[in-house]
Structure 1
Amino acid sequence: MRFERVRLGSEHVDYHWAWDLQRRVHAEVVAGEREDTVLLLEHAGVYTAGKRTASWDRPTDGTPVVDVDRGGRITWHGPGQLIAYPIVRLREPVDVVAYVRALEQAVIDLAADCDVATTRVAGRSGVWVAADARGRDRKLCAVGVRVAKGVTMHGIAINACPDLSAYDRIVPCGIDDADVTSLSAETGRTITPLDIVDATEHELARALGARTRPARPAVAVRP
């Protein structure tokens, strides 16, 4: 599995540009021209809506929203959030739920390394900090994936140190009875995407290893 940091630490990547990059990499992985690849980056601020997004989840002030071909509902991506897009071949028979659980486990283990206790919430994807004296259940990491021809796209968004007010314009992931948090908010210290990228690569490699298929022999490509 190959990890590629896309301008991480130097530029906030435009969502449409990164989506095009995902599609190119996906086609190469499907064709056997590239090994399994995980793209890691920070986006410029953007709202994206998955296939299950309801009209009342969206901003009411005319803020633009990008409709995408992943599962899930509406969310925000932007500075202070580490995005990981695994583009990997899943083992057969393809089990999308097991793949999502593997992604969640990687983030649960990452958060534990940062001294943040997280969990899953029944019926809701992502990684959560359970309700406590500080507030309601709050989402630390959103998960939204697509699988085509046995190869994954999209992935996870880990809140390291984003401006959480960006979520105020939407109903994040269509959930109105919970909140959103970050590693920085939970620990009281600033934790940036660069601070967690090494550990994220390690945990993803460990969690996804059992879910992915061995690479097929590369297809010769004529110059």
Structure 2
Amino acid sequence: MKVVMNKKVEFQDLGNMPYGKAWDYQTELFDGIVQTKLENRRRKDRGEEEIPTKNYLLFVEHPHVYTLGKSGKEEHLLLDQKGLEREHVEFFKINRGGDITYHGPGQIVGYPILDLDNFFTDIHKYLRLLEEAVILTLGDYGIKAGRIDGLTGVWIGENGDPNPRKICAMGVKTSRWVTMHGFALNVNANLNYFGNIVPCGISDKAVTSMQFELGKEVDMQEVEKVLKQHLSNLFEMELFENQQN
């Protein structure tokens, strides 16, 4: 007996949370979905009804932290341990794809923890829809953004501009079509922290933020609301909210 696709997605605003704690929480939700899928395989073999898998969308703001993906190079972190301590920045080697990036205050970090069997089983499409949600959000603020061939994430000045600059980094992990990690949109982020790394392993392109592009501070909660709506529309999610304290 086949389960109907479950497009219900529980949205949680985690507020300001240390990276390690958020990673542990993501992993807990991710593992729960994977375990449900393994149980459903056993249920299917027994001819029993399967259990709908859950989906989550987490928004969070992290204290200063650098994260290095499994394909990244540690030399792209330009600080030693003393430098990290001086700048009050944490450092984690993690299990997402991609190289090194920065998370910190003024940045919206989104972690979709989805069973793609509920939506579509296509990682390329998944990444492009995450990018599209950010592109549409930026467009609502009058910021023209897009993609650069061969580079993941969202860029400003992507078409022949002599100074292309990344405004949203992305890096994901998937297993059994379940996703974790996600994207980081620079809204009011302090761009100086990107000077301590080779962002995403790309040395010849700059990083920017909505604040820098617009010349003014931007309302984070408003951006979150707009971004959440675009994600919901593009993925045809049935979002419902669960506020975490």
Q: Does the 8 A contact of 1:80 with 1:192 survive in 2? A: no
Residue 176 of structure 1 aligns to a residue in which SS? coil
Mapped partners of 1:153, 1:133: distance in 2: 33
Amino acid at match of 1:165: N
Per the alignment, residue 107 of structure 2 pairs with: 81
Question: For 2:194, which of 160, 163, 167 is the aligned residue?
Answer: 167
Q: Render the CA deviation track for 1:32-70: whole Å, top value 9, x for unaligned.
A: 576211011100110000011123312233335200000
| 1:85-117 deviation digits (Å, cap 9, x = unpaired) | 000011387321111111000000010011100
Aligned partner letter, 1:189: K
Query: In structure 2, how many angstroms separate the alpha carbons of the residues matched to 1:131 and 1:13?
Result: 32
SS of residue in 1 equivalent to 2:168? strand
- Residue in structure 2 matched with residue 208 of structure 1 by the alignment: 235
CA gap of 1:179–1:98, structure 2 versus 1, over 3 A, is same
Post-superposition offset of 1:18: 0.2
Matches within 5 A, 1:109-120: 109-120=136-147
Q: Residue 107 of structure 1 contacts residue 127 of structure 1 at CA under 8 Å; is this kept in 2?
A: yes
> Radius of gyration: which is bigger?
2
Which consecutive unaligned segments of at least 5 residues does structure 1 have? 215-223
Partner Cα separation in structure 1 for residue 58 and residue 120 of structure 2: 25
Percentage of identical aligned residues: 34
Q: TM-score, with normalisation over the residues of structure 1? A: 0.86
RMSD (Å), alpha carbons: 2.2
* SS at structure 2 position matched to 1:101: helix
Structure 2 unaligned runs (5+)? Answer: 1-8, 37-50, 85-89, 239-245
Letter in 2 for 1:69: N
**Contact 1:25-1:34 at 8 Å conserved across structures:** no
**Distance between the aligned counterparts of 2:71 and 2:53, measured in 1?**
31
Whole-Å separation in 1 of the counterparts to 2:116 and 2:170: 17
Greater helix proportion: 2
SS at the partner of 2:116? coil
Checking the alignment, whether the CA contact within 8 Å between 2:70 and 2:99 is kept in structure 1 is yes
